[in-house]
Amino acid sequence: MTGIVLAVHGGAGRLARRKREHPKRLVYEEGLKQALQAGHTVLRKGGSSLNAVTKAVSILEDIEVFNAGLGAALCADGSVELSASIMSGKDLSVGAMVGLSRAKNPIRAARTIMGHAHGLLFGRHADAYAEAKGLDMVQPDYFFTRERLRQWEKYKASKRIALDHDEDSAHGTVGAVALDRRGNLAAATSTGGLVNQLPGRVGDTPVIGAGTWAQNGVCAISATGKGDAFARVAFARRVADLIEIGDMAPLEAAHEALNAVARVSGEGGCIIIDASGQCFMPFNSKHMLRGLIREDGVPHVAITVDDFDHSSEDKFGVGAESSR
């Protein structure tokens, strides 16, 4: 299988299957399609996989129904702390930012630190670096939405910390993986974290090898779900190692890693593109917002395990049941 490939996700969680006609379903699907089409345009014009995943994720960060950038989840003190990471499969260069509150697009901020001796920056220093690089900056209240404030008040009152997905919501961490015409892989992930999380918490998203990994000749991965569990099992690097060293097929490797996540009480999923351009999107949660676009430029999106063509060579949701 050859040609350009781009996959995106908008989070995984517990949106019940019976809510197939969720009132925001079309918004989720249109957001995924916008990201796919924007990233595909980059790839079609000969652009790099790095530029494609940056573009796709930045589009999702600007759509408030996802938990990244505008509309991100709020911490226990009502603040917003955004994290993102990006990785090049060509040379294993990385960039990550943690605890951003003013950089409008966290993934673009993470991209600015790639190639620097320091691959990860935190908090006000990360924001200051992004600003010095000329990125668009905003006030923290730009990220707040009415729905987010309502959600935060609900969980604050109950003293609960929650994955940003429940029976009424399908927000979530966003990510993208891509293969360009030169055969280079790249991955990017961006999040607002958990609802009502402790200020200063760091999940899997900005941790290279946990929520994000890209390696030419192996695969590109972006994960979503209960980030602390994904970090505990070094999820993304585990999948890559099982493929490279364990000689497992990508889907089998993802199942094995998701089983490890489940053993530490985690749930979620990932999107994977391997070196040949095959795409896999397994998850062990009730849903995962996801999409794929290939050379023909036709975007395909899905939410539940049933939302795809089972005859497709791309594994849009295969393994969801077996990984539970």
Hey, which residues are catalytic here?
173
Return d(Cα 35, Cα 61) in angstroms, integer.
Answer: 10
The sign one gets for the Cα dihedral 215, 36, 282, 266 is: positive
Return d(Cα 44, Cα 203) in angstroms, integer.
Answer: 33
For the chain, the straight-line distance linking the first and the last C-alpha, in angstroms and rounded, comes to 29
Q: How many CB atoms lie within 10 A of CB 241?
A: 18
Question: What angle do the packed helices 250-263 and 235-244 form, to 10 degrees?
Answer: 140
DSSP string, 238-268: HHHHHHHTS---HHHHHHHHHHHHHHTT--E
Return d(Cα 36, Cα 40) in angstroms, integer.
Answer: 6
How far CA 227 is from CA of 158, 203, 233, 270, in Å, comes to 21, 5, 10, 12
Q: How many CB atoms lie within 10 A of CB 60?
A: 31
Tokens of 199: 């200020």
Helix-, strand-, coil-residue percentages of the chain, each rounded to 5: 30, 25, 45
CB-hemisphere CA count at 13 Å for 27?
A: 11
